[in-house]
Amino acid sequence: MANQSDTKTKILDSAEKLFAERGFSETSLRLITSKAEVNLASVNYHFGSKKELIRAVLARYMDVFMPAAAAAIIQVKQQKQCASLDDIFSSLVSPLLDLNTVRTEGTLIFLQLLGRGYIESQGHLRWFITTHYGQYLTQFVHAVAESAPEIPAAEMFWRLHFTLGTVVFTMASADALTEIAAADFEEHNDIEAVIRKVIPYLSAGVSAPVG
Amino acid sequence: MANQSDTKTKILDSAEKLFAERGFSETSLRLITSKAEVNLASVNYHFGSKKELIRAVLARYMDVFMPAAAAAIIQVKQQKQCASLDDIFSSLVSPLLDLNTVRTEGTLIFLQLLGRGYIESQGHLRWFITTHYGQYLTQFVHAVAESAPEIPAAEMFWRLHFTLGTVVFTMASADALTEIAAADFEEHNDIEAVIRKVIPYLSAGVSAPVG
DNA sequence: GTTTAATTTAAACGAGTGTTTAAATCATTA
DNA sequence: TAATGATTTAAACACTCGTTTAAATTAAAC
């Protein structure tokens, strides 16, 4: 019984790293299990299938991040009567960075997984996210909409997806970008620095005057 | 000799559609050739390998779009002394939409291919683009930097990548998004409408005040 | 019309995939 | 300790993939 959760954790730890780096379908179960130093068949024994492993990897982060993010937004709206978009986005920073304490490089891995999930999977992951965490998503959308009431709902729909694209793409290629930036501009750019750079960009974009 | 280019074109037409829809590695040569109604081996005969087919699919659009985009930017800078970011981004719209006259749904397919290419391929495609079309890219970066001189170079580096992420992600999931938007807001959203929605978002983001 | 080259075709190859099986091993409980 | 259930293991299965081969077909050149 002690080894069960040990094997399960080893698989999850190995899988999330590889999934974030190379994507879901480009990562084979054999690579995951060999890096985790467990048997190939243990994935299907503990998780049932590769699809369910993918969902389990994502759920481990979602279950931590989503409630924390929801609480942070509620807190911001209590402290400030009229929270700005910058306030809303900024309130998500510490829930994101707290994932680094949960697991090594947790923040980066979570954001990369999110990006891979949104781009790669046509069906099962998007369904999994919306059905399991849909309440949090709508709550977040409402908070943003309240902070930019001049933007019509239809326009806001698109701008939030633009925002998602910005975040997801940036994080999916964050490794390469921070290297280039460090070489070209001699700046120190860890994941937190990138997050803090992107927030003004997103706020300005979401609240841009409607053409 | 008449059938050679015929088969080649049939393969390219079938491949670009499937690549844009489901990504490169998720699209098998057998699916491409069966939809194109040609023999499986003809891909390797005419293109050498799957990688070279991918490059050929992308090059067919790049060779049309890149010179047209470059010309459009030059024209804008001649007409207006101080072209705004909106002007620069907007000048790319008609070169993009002109791809629809080259091939059916050309604009959408091109942008989706670009997105897939940037996200999926770690090496060969990124190398192919920068070495073959790098001159156009640097020209575009300079034009943007000129239109937002208050943004430091290091900050602009990041914001242009945010911009790339927005465009690429939006287009990669454009099919799903336009469907949802149509259902939720009863709006008509073709690819041009999305492009025109994203431009104010990008302009505001790139020129946002630096924190 | 014959020869030569280009193209198409069907079949197979070797490697890699997720999944399943049944035996072996381990831990727990009686 | 013996028995029972949980877990691990090695092997095989069935399938898909990109690529290659060699023969068949078509087109071009002489």
**Option in B167, B173, B185 nearest A154 (CB):** B185
Are residues A165 and B161, on separate chains, in Cβ contact within 8 Å?
A: no
CA nearest to A118 within chain B: B173
Are residues B201 and A162, on separate chains, in Cβ contact within 8 Å?
A: yes
Reading the block at residue A22, the tokens are: 């190379």
To which H or E segment does residue B208 belong? none
Segment A154-182 shows an average pLDDT of 84
pLDDT digits over A58-109, tens only? 999 999 999 999 999 999 999 998 899 999 999 999 999 999 999 999 999 9
Distance A43 CA to D21 C1' (A): 39
Q: How many CB atoms lie within 10 A of CB B1?
A: 5
In whole angstroms, give the CA distance from residue B64 to residue B66: 6
CA nearest to A154 within chain B: B185
Q: Could you confirm whether domain A57-206 is CATH 1.10.357.10?
A: yes
Q: Position of tokens 């280039």?
A: A180
Query: Residue A4: its pLDDT value, please?
Result: 47
Q: Which of residues 74-113 of B touch strand D (CB under 7 A)?
A: none
Residue spans per domain, chain A? 57-206
% of chain B exceeding 90 in pLDDT: 67
> Which has the minimum average pLDDT: A21-25, A27-31, A95-99?
A21-25
> Which has the minimum average pLDDT: B10-24, B112-126, B191-205?
B112-126
**Option in A155, A157, A197 nearest B184 (CB):** A157
Q: Which nucleotide is nearest to A28 (CA to C1')?
A: C17
Segment A41-45 shows an average pLDDT of 97
**B139: helix, strand or coil:** helix
Q: How many residues does chain A have?
A: 211
Phi-psi bin for B151: left (phi > 0), alpha (psi -120 to 50), beta? beta
Q: Is the CB of B46 under 7 A from strand D?
A: no
Segment B111-137 shows an average pLDDT of 84
Alpha helices in A23-49 (DSSP H): 29-36, 42-47
Segment A9-32 shows an average pLDDT of 96
CA angle B204/B210/B211 to nearest 5° reads 120
Farthest-apart Cα atoms in chain A, separation = 61
Residue B206: pLDDT band with limits 50, 70, 90: very high
pLDDT digits over B169-189, tens only? 888 777 777 877 777 776 766
| A18: chain B residues, CB-CB within 8 Å | none
Query: Residue A188: its pLDDT value, please?
Result: 67
Of the candidate CATH numbers 3.40.50.300, 1.10.357.10, 2.40.420.20, 3.40.50.10190, the domain formed by B58-206 belongs to: 1.10.357.10
